[in-house]
Structures are given as structure tokens and as C-alpha cells.
Amino acid sequence: MTKRDFDAIVVGSGPNGLAAAITLQQQGLSVLLLEGKDTVGGGLRTAELTLPGFKHDICSAVHPLAAESPFFRTLPLAAHGLEFMYPPVAAAHPFANGTAAALHSSLVETAADLGADADAYRQLVAPVVNDWRALAPAILGPLRLPAHPLAMARFGLKGLLPAQLLANRYFTTPEARGLWAGMAAHAQLPLSSVATSAIGLVLLALGHVGGWPVPRGGSQQIAAALTSYFTSLGGQVETGFYVKSLRQLPSAHAVLLDVTPRQLLAIAGQQLSSLYKWQLARYRYGMGVFKIDWALAEPIPFTAPECRRAGTVHLGNTLEEITHAEQLTWDGHHPERPFVLLAQQSLFDATRAPARQHTAWAYCHVPHGSTHDMTQAIEQQVERFAPGFRERILARHTMNPAQMEAHNPNYVGGDINGGVLDIGQLFTRPVLRLSPYQTSAKGLYLCSSSTPPGGGVHGMCGYHAARRALADVFNVRLPGILAA
């Protein structure tokens, strides 16, 4: 560990830690970014998990929020090696009868495929698409008076509804209801939960605004580009240094931690007030994930042609089936037919696998901390919509929630969202406080997905935490709120 003093230290190099470090370094401060592993990235890592030559994304894989992040869009990441690949179909949702609904880049085309629900889809999604650039800073930030209150009100009136209720109000066809359920289920909550519609609306709108891209070479390339830009500004990175206590750190005016409340208590508990620690201890983590990566001899043989052109495929059949599976999981059970999120990056990025071979990535939700093996259940779901899939498997690699947490301590119990994203923790994570990024200790800030706006590769938690630190510690107030 270097012994020099720094203006600021950021612990953890996930997308939020990198965003925080960049925001501070852009103001001419001396910033040290520390990472416990040998490479930067947090959830942005790619490795040969199965066989040589097969590159698998360890956590995040498809990045609609990264492509449209109000902060990332201000950075010259293409000049630092980042190239996004855009599948012709952002996401597909197959049904047991061999058909599929699809999220196309065109809202008109997507709506037209939904038959009797075409008008309802346009009425629901078009306002979010049209308002996205105005909405993004408010949706991807802390609770505050929005710059565009009418646009935010239009979004909020729908977004606060439970996804199941919104589906019943708007859609009648199995195609539209199923497509909607798959989007909303990204929330890792029962579809009867308040505000699950917000997740579905954002993901659908992003499909039309910018698509659901995958980075050429793997998700690690997003972290590599952010790191390259950070160091080009003069920032310093040190890997292989796992921070267990603030006492390990050199002197700095501000410290920003890209960790969840559990790690914050362990690292800085002695510096925090009793009330703040009590609040952190009450923070709730959500469902975990069970993940599989496959090395494949051939592409997945989906029956529906839309699925063979999609970067992401949601496997869950009808809204009713997905709702049932997610509720069972939330209640602590393991459904026989789980909702499965699957990505097939190698169809659009030839660097992911040897010639004419492929990779695939998938996970399902499981109860928090589960050690149950969901391999068979997930593969049965894929086979259900792609007969002959198992015959193409060359090798597989699995990770249960405990293994996910061992890989990245921020995934407590396998929760990849940094904590439950329900109405009680949507804008007040990790505690109810004037600024969610300030801790009770002077100069110490939280910049992880356990702060607003929560999980996802967008860097906005880090950006907002750095803004707060700049104002508090360095008397630097960035002009306005970042526009998309």
C-alpha cells in the first residue's frame, strides 16, 4: 500500500466505485481507487469459467442502463476501448406454444406484434420513451424535487403500481402480459409488490431508446474502459488490497465505500454513531440468484425465431406462471419452473467463444442464501423452449448464492441488487437520511448499489455520492443535476 496522502480514497472498483473515483478525479483531486481482487470491476468481470477460449460474464451481462447512463454518456469510453454490440432483438419472451413476444428497437414494431394490446402498449410505454432523457436523472438518483415534475408524475403514477395490477389494467393478450411480466420480474420481488412496474417500464423504454447491448469482449471491458479513463486523468488504482478496516487506509480527506451496509458496519463500525449503526443493521437484503454459464457446441435451438435473434431471453411462459414462481421464491421455496433470465452474447460477439461455438449465461431467483442446486430446473426451462438444448452443452459452471457472495461480498446472500428494492428501500436506502450517501462519520460516504438508485450498471450511485463528498469536504458544487 502506498503511504502518500490523498484527497480521496474510493474502496471497491465496481461501476459505482469507478464512477465515484472518476467524478472526484475530474475535479483535479488526487484519488486512490482500491480493489480487493487482482482485477477491477466488481460485477463487471469476464473469465474462462468453463473451457479455454469461452469467455463468460461472471455477473452482469447485458447493459441497457450502462449505454443510457446519464453519467457514462458524458465519458469518452469508446476512445478507451469500449464497444457495444446491439442484438437485432433486445429481448424475447417465448411461450409454450412455440411463439414469442419480442422487444424490438422500434416501439411501433413491438406494439404491432402484440395484436389487440398494441394500443395499450403504445399508451403505456411511449410517454416513458419520449420523456426518457428528462426522466433519467430523477429515476437514477436520490429522492428530490424533479427538474421535470410533470414527466415524473406521469411515470410515477404507473411506476408505483404493482406489476400484476398494471398488467390487469392494460393488457389482455398472453403475449403482452408475458412480455411485461418478464420485464417486471427483474425487480427480484413478487409482482404484487408496489413499484415493481417502475422496473418494467424502464427496461421496456430502454429497449426503444438505446437497446440492450453487450460489450464486445465481455462485461470486463466496461470496467477496463472506465479504469483507463480514470488513470488518464491521473487517478491511481491499487488492486489486491482487501480493506477490512479504515485503519488500513492512508490519510485522506474523504473516503467513499462501494460496499453494502453489512460491510460498512464491519469496516467502519467504530467510527459510526449508535443510531446510524442501528439503522444499518435493519437493512434488508432480498432474493439471491443461482447462475449457470454454458460452453455450447452450437447456438441454443429456440423454437421461436425471435429468440434466436435476441440478446436476452426471458423464460417463464405466462404472466401467471412467472407471478407464481416469483412469489414461491420470495416465500422461501424453489419452484420447479423458475423464471429464468438468459443471455446469449456470443451470437453477436464472436470474441466470446471459439469459431462456430457459443456461450450462454442464465440465472434464476432463489431464496436468500439458498444452497439448493437449480441446475436441472434451469436447464429444463431452457429445454422447454429450445428442444435439443442439452445435447449442445460442452461444459457448465454454476454459482449458488453463497458462491456469488464469496466472489463478491456485496452480493449478500446472493442478492445482486445490494438490498431489497421495494418501496421501503427504493429511495431511502440504506437509511432514512437527508443524504443517503453521507454516513454519520465525517468524511465517510457510501457509494454502492445500497444507495439510490440501486442495482444496475449505471454508476449513478457513485456519481451522486461523489457530488455529495465534493460539496461537503472540498466545497466544490457541480453545476445543476447531471442531464442525460
Condensed to tens digits (0 to 9), the pLDDT of residues 30-59 reads 999 999 999 999 999 999 999 999 999 999
Is it the case that residue 1 has pLDDT exceeding 60?
no
Identify whether the C-beta of residue 357 lies closer than 8 Å to the C-beta of residue 371: no
Long-range interactions of 143-151: CB distance < 8 A, separation 24+:
143/427, 143/428, 143/452, 147/481, 151/127
The set of cell numbers assigned to 223 is 470496467
Asked whether residue 325 is domain-assigned, the answer is: yes
**How many independent structural domains does the chain possess?**
3
Identify whether the C-beta of residue 392 lies closer than 8 Å to the C-beta of residue 298: yes
255, β-bridge pairs: 9, 444
Residues 145 and 96 in one domain: no
Residues 126 and 178 in one domain: yes
Asked whether residue 90 is domain-assigned, the answer is: yes
Please tell me whether the overall predicted TM-score, pTM, comes out greater than 0.85 for this model: yes
Residues 277 and 374 in one domain: no
Identify whether the C-beta of residue 8 lies closer than 8 Å to the C-beta of residue 252: yes
Q: What is the pLDDT of residues 255-272, one digit of tens each?
A: 999 999 999 999 999 999
Q: What is the pLDDT of residues 58-98, one digit of tens each?
A: 999 999 999 999 999 999 999 999 999 999 999 999 999 99
Range 242-252 average pLDDT:
96
Distance CA 189, CA 191 (A): 6
CATH assignment of the domain containing 332: 3.30.519
The per-type count for the chain, helices as H runs and strands as E runs, is 15, 16
Domain limit, last residue, from 383, 416, 449? 416
- DSSP labels, 371-430: ----HHHHHHHHHHHSTT-GGGEEEEEEE-HHHHHHH-TTSGGG-TTSS--STTTSSS-S
Asked whether residue 481 is domain-assigned, the answer is: no
Identify whether the C-beta of residue 99 lies closer than 8 Å to the C-beta of residue 178: no
Identify whether the C-beta of residue 310 lies closer than 8 Å to the C-beta of residue 89: yes
CATH assignment of the domain containing 440: 3.50.50.60
pLDDT of residue 255: 98
For residue 91, the tally of other CB atoms under 10 A from its CB is 30
Distance CA 297, CA 294 (A): 10
Q: CA dihedral in degrees (417, 423, 425, 427; nearest 10)? A: 100
| Residue 413 region by backbone torsions, left for phi larger than 0, else alpha for psi between -120 and 50, else beta | left
* 56 three-state secondary structure: strand
Range of the domain at 199: 106-209
Q: How confident is residue 483, by pLDDT bands cut at 50, 70 and 90?
A: very low
- DSSP labels, 164-218: HHHHHHH--SHHHHHHHHHHHGGGSS-TTSTTHHHHHHHHHHHHHHT---EETT-
Is it the case that residue 312 has pLDDT exceeding 60?
yes
